[in-house]
Structure 1
């Protein structure tokens, strides 16, 4: 579903806000783009189709906290599980403040 040659840097699941938890997506961050994948109806972790694609210089954050952490991407608000909030921050830091990231301890993996 991603263009050939794209290396995945980050992947995390999100849910469309106000969908009652039934509209699930995955956000895939590569070196060149941010892709939102729609998932299969009964599997939150199995992609079905590309829903939207954005240039890599698009910010995912800031994460807003309310009833649950949310991000806005392309005018659409998605809920992010608490455990993936750090992934959103890391993806933005990689694109906008790479000097803030720690050095990769295992760069050959």
Structure 2
């Protein structure tokens, strides 16, 4: 399920002026604390929502430089990734978002080879 536009607008208030959101997805710690991970051209910002609401934004938990990889995501049971020394859980549907954000860092090396390079 995509992040609602109302939440996206509130998240912009936690970002520097003019920052463009490239990727965004919800994550949690053991289903007790909820967050949004927001990737911009300059940073990876983790915004907490607190325990009472999954959409009411509270504070910035941590800001990482954009060079930080979010994955790899362990998809053995519940998809999890580690960021800032914490293990976050994420819904299956957001794993491709994390992979895309990380692939953007790696550039062309992250892309699969062109199967029709001779055409």
TM-score category, normalised to shorter length: 0.7 to 0.9
What's the TM-score once normalised by structure 1's chain length? Answer: 0.82
Please, which of 53, 57, 61 is the counterpart of residue 67 of structure 2? 57
* Structure 1 position 42, deviation (Å): 2.9
For the aligned residue pairs, the C-alpha RMSD in angstroms reads 1.7
Query: What 5-or-longer segments of structure 2 have no aligned partner?
Result: 1-13, 113-119
- Is the Cα–Cα contact under 8 Å of residues 60 and 72 in structure 1 kept in the other structure? yes
- Greater share of strand: 1
Does 1:85 find its partner at 2:95?
Answer: yes
Unaligned runs of 5+ in 1: 102-109
Bigger radius of gyration: 2
CA distance in 2, matches of 1:98, 1:49: 35
Quote the residue 1:9 is aligned against.
22
Taking structure 2 as the reference length, the TM-score comes to 0.75
- Larger helix proportion of the pair: 2
